Chain A
Amino acid sequence: MSQIMNPPSSSRIKVRPATEREGRKDYISIRDYGFWYGQKKALEGISLDIPERQVVAFIGPSGCGKSTLLRNLNRMNDLVDGIRHEGDITINGRSIYDPGLEVISLRRRVGMVFQKSNPFPKSIFENVVYALRVVGVRDRAVLEEACETSLRKAALWDEVKDRLDDSALGLSGGQMQRLCIARAIANRPEILLMDEPCSALDPIATGKIEELIHELKEQFTIVIVTHSMQQAARVSDRTAFFYLGKQIEYDTTEKIFMNPSQAQTEAYISGRFG
């Protein structure tokens, strides 16, 4: 209660609504994008721009195409047989389908965190520096610095700094997920994709990941797929609602949740869908 009754402090952090934070340049641009798994059309006519260093949430019922779109942003779906696409996705002005662009370098720039944390059966240290080792970094001092920096950014350093050589598999679920985030950012990506990063976590671990997302957006552009509308509302600046492979509405999160333009969006966010 003291927090409620304390007098105003001039040093407080002012939180500005997303709408006031506009004016950033669009970073990821998706244009007339369609996507097929074999004969099945999974996405149709998607066009949206994602500004840099903002959090964009993709919401919608299962099968609406939100994870498919997310996985297209770093061409993860290339691994699936029989896929094809139409339209284009550009990152910082360059098409991700540019023949001159190596998919490996694209994935270095666009990191990913999955629904289920997937640490390697190695030490905490080796997990974090894995990608750096793959690209040939051998200098121990460089690796140690990258490990500490990444773990600090992932808000995990204080919890694991004394046991970096312990197996990552001994961490709690929430810690494992933060380790995977540390591993993803160790490679210094520009964009972080998160596919339901909290769905297997308890509310406290979820809170920590959400705090982390809020801090990481100072440096990274983040796209998150979530089934939790409360989570989308809490962490994102912009929200896109998808249904049956189509983009129904994309706007500031405040607009989507307070006064959406489309009746389908209103029905979905208020639990009246279906």
Chain B
Amino acid sequence: MQRFFHDELRQLRDDLILMGERSLDMTRLVLRAVETGDDSLALQVRGMDDRVDELEKRVDREIMRYLTLFGPMGSDVRLLLAARDIGHDLERIADEASVIAKRAMVISERGERDAEIDALNRKNYEELFGKAGDVAKVSASHVELIFISKALERIGDHSKNIAEQVIFLLSGEDVRHAR
């Protein structure tokens, strides 16, 4: 029998999917911003972060409300636990996209001044990178790109976490930390 309060689980799932779509949109947009150097795209991404933060809070509230009021059992409990983790990972993805947007704007701002800045800061970069790389080729923008790549790696980590939670949701199997 479908009960009236099961509608709230559908609402929760829909909010989670909405969060996922927003985070995905932000990631796609910000990669295009990096690729094309289009500042307006980066700005747009930074403006989207608040909405995801709000959705995370709403999802958390919905989870707590359901756990407290409706005595969930079985797969409903798994959905609530998985939703909490997935919501957190999606919010982190949106944060990383926002960080990338910020870095992309820095690259774009530097633009043609890159060479000049390189000259001024070369000494710092030598200290930073030692002899490991070809110091002459490292520019301020390259450093931003390194941060961007690190943020992308973290987005990958969060995506993997979400995939693990989806396996848990569907099968009940905990595949985290598997070797």
Contact = CB atoms under 8 A, between A and B. Distances in A.
A207 interface: yes
Contacts of A210: 3-4
Contacts of A8: 10, 13-14, 17-18
A208 B4 CA distance: 11
B10 A12 contact: yes
Contacts of A13: 7
Contacts of B8: 15
A12 B10 CA distance: 8
17 contacts: A3-B6, A3-B10, A4-B9, A5-B170, A12-B11, A14-B11, A15-B4, A15-B8, A17-B65, A211-B3, A211-B4, A234-B5, A234-B71, A253-B69, A254-B65, A254-B69, A258-B69
Contacts of B9: 4
Contact of B68 (A3, A7, A208, A257): A257
A152 to B, nearest CB: 18
Interface string B79-123: 100000000000000000000000000000000000000000000
Q: List 9 tightest A-B contacts by C-beta distance, closest first.
A: A8-B14, A233-B69, A15-B7, A214-B4, A258-B68, A230-B71, A15-B8, A257-B68, A13-B7
A4 B7 contact: no
B162 interface: no
Interface residues of B, number: 24
B118 to A, nearest CB: 50
B64 interface: yes
Nearest to A258: B68
A207 B3 contact: yes
Contacts of B132: none
B75 A1 contact: yes
A233 B70 contact: yes
Interface in B1-37: 1, 3-11, 13-14, 17-18
Could you tell me the dominant secondary structure of chain B's interface residues?
A: helix
Given A7-B17, A211-B4, A258 B79 contact: no
Contacts of B45: none
Interface residues of A, number: 24
Contacts of A263: none
B68 A15 contact: no
Nearest to A210: B3
Given A12-B11, A233-B69, 16 more contacts: A1-B75, A3-B10, A4-B75, A4-B79, A4-B169, A7-B17, A12-B10, A14-B11, A207-B1, A210-B4, A211-B3, A234-B5, A254-B65, A257-B68, A257-B69, A258-B68
Contacts of A141: none
A258 B3 CA distance: 21
Contacts of A79: none
Nearest to A10: B14
Contacts of A14: 7, 11
Nearest to B6: A3
A8 B10 CA distance: 8
A230 to B, nearest CB: 5
Contacts of A5: 170
Contacts of B79: 4
A13 B9 CA distance: 12
A204 interface: yes
Given A233-B68, A257-B69, A258-B68, A15 B5 contact: yes
Contacts of B1: 204, 207-208, 211
Contacts of A258: 64-65, 68-69
A4 B79 CA distance: 8
